[in-house]
Amino acid sequence: MPAPSASRFAPFDRSRHAAPQVFERLRDMILSLELAPGTLLSRADLAAHFGLSQTPVRDALNKLGEEGLIDIRPQHATVVSRIDAAAAVQAQFLRRAIEAEVVRTLVGHADAALVDQLRAQIDVQAALMGSAAYLEFIAADRAFHRLMYVAAGVPDLFDLVRQRSGHVDRLRMLSLPSVGKQRAIVRDHRRIVDAIASGDAAAAQTSLRDHLSGTLGQIDAIRLAHPDYFTA
């Protein structure tokens, strides 16, 4: 198992339980592909890396297994799961259904302050466009979408979707370097907000669905470039 990067060694918050923090760090490492699909994970090695006992590491690994991000094989090995295209399609189906309703709701309730907030978040993402700061770009993307869920009054659904989006999130990470991908994401976000601001629910939903179909449309090309990252 490769050692986590130095950035992962920030001190744990002693006011919180260790297991959720280990889970968050390992989840970030998996979604960023720092821990690539197929990577072997050792509970003992992880405990040593994080300076913890094996108990919180075990609990974190179990939760990652529940999200489908690792495969736990009793008495054998624990590995970072390979990307399951079918699971990615189902997760994105769920997300499209929920977010289509989110933007429809926002069309009926949006005010100038919300539109300004959404556009300001797009500006943050646009400032990162064209750079190799992929993690920051993804964080800005996530903040944009979460803002819509919060404004629609359903923030818990954002967490639900995120729990099921590990395979899609890794596909997105692999697609970001492709020519024009970041620009297309920012363009789509602007179209969604423009439709919300103009009160056009149909256009907002169409733009949202087109936006959330982009990564899945690249699955074949991504699989061809990274065949070892996918399930058979």
Are 127 and 170 found together in one domain? yes
Are 64 and 142 found together in one domain? no
Are 54 and 91 found together in one domain? no
Overall number of domains in the chain? 2
Task: Return d(Cα 29, Cα 166) in angstroms, integer.
Answer: 11
Specify if 1 maps to a domain: no
Task: Return d(Cα 132, Cα 135) in angstroms, integer.
Answer: 9
Are 188 and 140 found together in one domain? yes
Specify if 147 maps to a domain: yes
The predicted pLDDT at position 3 comes to: 47
At 79, the amino acid letter reads V
| pLDDT under 50: residue ranges of the chain | 3, 5-9
Pick the last residue of a domain from 63, 80, 97.
Answer: 80
Are 50 and 125 found together in one domain? no
The predicted pLDDT at position 130 comes to: 85
Beta-carbon count within 10 A of 210 CB: 14
**Domain range holding 52?**
6-80
User: DSSP letters along 63-118, please?
Assistant: HHHHTTSEEEETTTEEEEPPB-HHHHHHHHHHHHHHHHHHHHHHHHH--HHHHHHH
Compute φ and ψ for 71, nearest 5 degrees.
-110, 120
Are 94 and 73 found together in one domain? no
CATH code of the domain covering residue 71:
1.10.10.10
**Residue 40 in 3-state DSSP?**
strand
Are 55 and 27 found together in one domain? yes
Nearest of 186, 173, 161, 163 to residue 135 by alpha carbon: 173
Are 93 and 207 found together in one domain? yes
The predicted pLDDT at position 10 comes to: 60
The predicted pLDDT at position 108 comes to: 87
The predicted pLDDT at position 170 comes to: 97
Are 60 and 114 found together in one domain? no
The predicted pLDDT at position 110 comes to: 80
Is this model's pTM higher than 0.85 or not?
A: yes
Q: Interior CA angle at 178 toward 230 and 176, to 5°?
A: 70
Task: Return d(Cα 93, Cα 19) in angstroms, integer.
Answer: 30
* SS3 letters across 138-206: HHHHHHHHHHHHHHCCCHHHHHHHHHCCHHHHHHHHHHCCCCCHHHHHHHHHHHHHHHHHHCCHHHHHH
Are 109 and 166 found together in one domain? yes
